[in-house]
Amino acid sequence: MTLLFAFLIGLFAGLRSLTPPAAVAWAVYLGWLKLARPLSLIGSLPAVIILSLLAITELIIDKLPNTPNRTAPLGLIARIVTGGFTGACVALGGGQSAFVGAGLGLIGGIVGCFGGYQARTRLVKYLRQPDFNIALLEDLVAIGGSLFIVSRF
């Protein structure tokens, strides 16, 4: 189950690159997820504050009309990196290999990036809703899913 969670946290990083790191930071800070150094530093109060602020900023910037596509190189790289990192944290916290977790999180980040893009654009057309509404739904999935995963430990 832990390795599935490593993939899924990466998938959620594909939707919102900074939400899973913020969720992992909170989980370590609250003692839900036990990590050894150096990964445990993500649970320090400064890291929790910074990652939370960055995640909130990302949620806001995502709704702006000039925001680049998530599949653009910078957005894709961010999702791959945060997916791999959070996948490693979740795997290690569940007693599995950090390297395997990082690989699964990385793959999840790619799947979430392209799959989330396709799902969002298709839902906008199918439901005839503004992109903003579907983006809010995507926010809820990324936040809720990330919190669900990190609370399982």
Three-state SS at 85: helix
**Location of structure tokens 């913020």:** 22
Residue 9, pLDDT above cutoff 90: yes
Buried b (16+ CB within 10 A) or exposed e, 44-75: eeebbeebbeebeebbeebeeeeeeebeeeeb
Sequence spans of domains, the chain? 2-150
Three-state SS at 151: coil
Over the stretch 88-145, which tens digit does the pLDDT of each residue have? 999 999 999 999 999 999 999 999 999 999 999 999 999 999 999 999 999 999 999 9
Q: Quick one: pLDDT at residue 127?
A: 95
Please state, rounded to an integer, the average pLDDT across all residues of the chain.
96
**Side chain identity at residue 26, one-letter code:** W
Q: Quick one: pLDDT at residue 26?
A: 98
Q: Quick one: pLDDT at residue 153?
A: 86
